A and B are shown apart, each in its own frame.
Chain A
């Protein structure tokens, strides 16, 4: 895994290694490589998704769940980064409102 990996990408590779048949190879896959071609099954992808939701405390909206979500590490990372970003921003806004009172 490149040293510049973001926390989201790190989490994705960890989850793939732990919950799919890719195993440790998940750490070395190219970020834009086809995960299904590498051996990811749709059954394993469910566990990967749920593990990531748990670890990052996000819920992937139903309309984004599908085969395309797991097309590559980069794509999955991008979706999760967006969701965690939204969440952190929302949290930030809440705090700001709280502080304003």
Chain B
């Protein structure tokens, strides 16, 4: 699973985007089978490793490419044009390494681990979900148990662990100690060799089937230095929440863009046939679909730029960013589906087909996951309350 260590150079923005196109091509060839069989997109992830793209979000000082949020978002969108599962796995992994980079600043052990992850292009999954917390990432039942020998023990029953069976390590949330409150959480880096995973359920969903996200119970004993010093609440607010909503939105927009590309190709074929027959029909639907797509793409790009500025200013207001990130996620997750629906109507039965160059069936199924990855209702509820605190957010 782990690629041999190779000499890597830092990728420029341009090189990383070009590499993403290459990976998308490789992944696209297997996207249908990945989806049909609900299997891990091994070829796509191998291509990510080969091109060094797994360390895209790792800062240069730890051996990564240190790419900015805008570029990361564009990489995710390009990958999604080939295989949404590969793109989503890449995006989720970037979140883990970005959160670890925050921990690396204050922990030599985490810094060393992150450099190793970048050098060997290791794949990191997250175990944030848990039985008994009702889908609230900011609460844990599991707790870190310190032992006398400088290790900590941890057992967690997770409801979904994406690519859990294929990851080289996990970022796991838990209460900071046996007596800690449910919201007093830390993140722990658990490498696969220190973990025992027991799969406790099936994986046969509607879409994003290649992410392979069944429930697991994980037990681990790790060195105490693998506990990220920063409280997880801070990591979540500063990094995991805004960056996840941004990168996911990039992936979903990329899926929608591929559907519109297919609608363009189909419309060309249809118009050629109409011109041959000597009668063309006015059809504004493609223009409408594109307009909706463009709004999403511009919204995501704007958020990426604003997030970069906010991230650089450590005293920036977190509530404002949380509300915006939540709004981005709930908006794009629903509107991307609407874009693909328009592509479906343009392509007709060729779009409804599960195969062929004009199929948007997988796109549609994949994108229905978007509203559930942290349920939109939960985020809308949070925003409905947070907005009462900060009326300033309404402007601009």
Q: Is A11 an interface residue (CB 8 A)?
A: no
B276 touches A47 (CB 8 A): no
Q: Which residues on B sit within 8 Å (CB–CB) of A55?
A: 276
List residues 248-286 of chain B with CB under 8 A from any CB of chain A.
268, 271-273, 275-276, 280
Closest to A47 in B: B275
Chain B: residues with Cβ within 8 Å of the partner, total of 7
> 0/1 per residue, B22-53, Cβ < 8 Å to A?
00000000000000000000000000000000
How far apart sit A1 and B276, CA to CA, in the bound complex (Å)?
23
Closest to B277 in A: A54
How far apart sit A51 and B268, CA to CA, in the bound complex (Å)?
10
Of the listed residues B268, B271, B275, B280, the one surrounded by the most CB atoms of chain A closer than 10 A to its CB is: B275
Tell me the interface secondary structure of chain B in the complex: helix
How far apart sit A46 and B274, CA to CA, in the bound complex (Å)?
13
> 0/1 per residue, A44-81, Cβ < 8 Å to B?
00110011011100000000000000000000000000
How far apart sit A10 and B337, CA to CA, in the bound complex (Å)?
45
> 0/1 per residue, B283-309, Cβ < 8 Å to A?
000000000000000000000000000
B276 touches A54 (CB 8 A): yes
How far apart sit A44 and B379, CA to CA, in the bound complex (Å)?
47
Q: Is A27 an interface residue (CB 8 A)?
A: no
How far apart sit A50 and B275, CA to CA, in the bound complex (Å)?
8
Q: Which residues on B sit within 8 Å (CB–CB) of A50?
A: 268, 271-272, 275
Q: Which residues on A sit within 8 Å (CB–CB) of B268?
A: 50, 53
Interchain nearest-CB distance for B216 vs A (Å): 44
Q: Which residues on B sit within 8 Å (CB–CB) of A47?
A: 271, 275, 280
Interchain nearest-CB distance for B51 vs A (Å): 23
Closest to B275 in A: A51
Q: Which residues on B sit within 8 Å (CB–CB) of A46?
A: 271
Closest to B280 in A: A47
Of the listed residues A19, A46, A53, A54, the one surrounded by the most CB atoms of chain B closer than 10 A to its CB is: A54
How far apart sit A19 and B275, CA to CA, in the bound complex (Å)?
8
How far apart sit A53 and B271, CA to CA, in the bound complex (Å)?
11
Closest to B274 in A: A50
How far apart sit A55 and B272, CA to CA, in the bound complex (Å)?
9
How far apart sit A50 and B272, CA to CA, in the bound complex (Å)?
5
Interchain nearest-CB distance for A81 vs B (Å): 20
Q: Which residues on A sit within 8 Å (CB–CB) of B275?
A: 19, 47, 50-51, 54
How far apart sit A57 and B271, CA to CA, in the bound complex (Å)?
14
> 0/1 per residue, B11-25, Cβ < 8 Å to A?
000000000000000
Interchain nearest-CB distance for B282 vs A (Å): 12
Closest to B268 in A: A50
Closest to B278 in A: A18
List residues 1-26 of chain A with CB under 8 A from any CB of chain B.
19
Q: Which residues on B sit within 8 Å (CB–CB) of A19?
A: 275
Q: Which residues on A sit within 8 Å (CB–CB) of B276?
A: 51, 54-55
How far apart sit A51 and B273, CA to CA, in the bound complex (Å)?
8
Interchain nearest-CB distance for A33 vs B (Å): 24
Closest to A59 in B: B268
How far apart sit A47 and B267, CA to CA, in the bound complex (Å)?
12
How far apart sit A55 and B277, CA to CA, in the bound complex (Å)?
11
How far apart sit A51 and B280, CA to CA, in the bound complex (Å)?
11
Interchain nearest-CB distance for B144 vs A (Å): 54
Nearest 5 A/B pairs, CB to CB: A54-B272, A51-B275, A50-B272, A54-B276, A50-B271
Q: A47-B275, A47-B280 are in contact. List 9 more A-B contacts (CB 8 A).
A: A47-B271, A50-B268, A50-B272, A50-B275, A51-B276, A53-B272, A54-B272, A54-B273, A54-B275
A-B contact list, 7 entries, CB within 8 Å = A47-B271, A50-B268, A51-B272, A53-B272, A54-B272, A54-B276, A55-B276
The residues of B with any CB-CB pair to A shorter than 8 Å are 268, 271-273, 275-276, 280
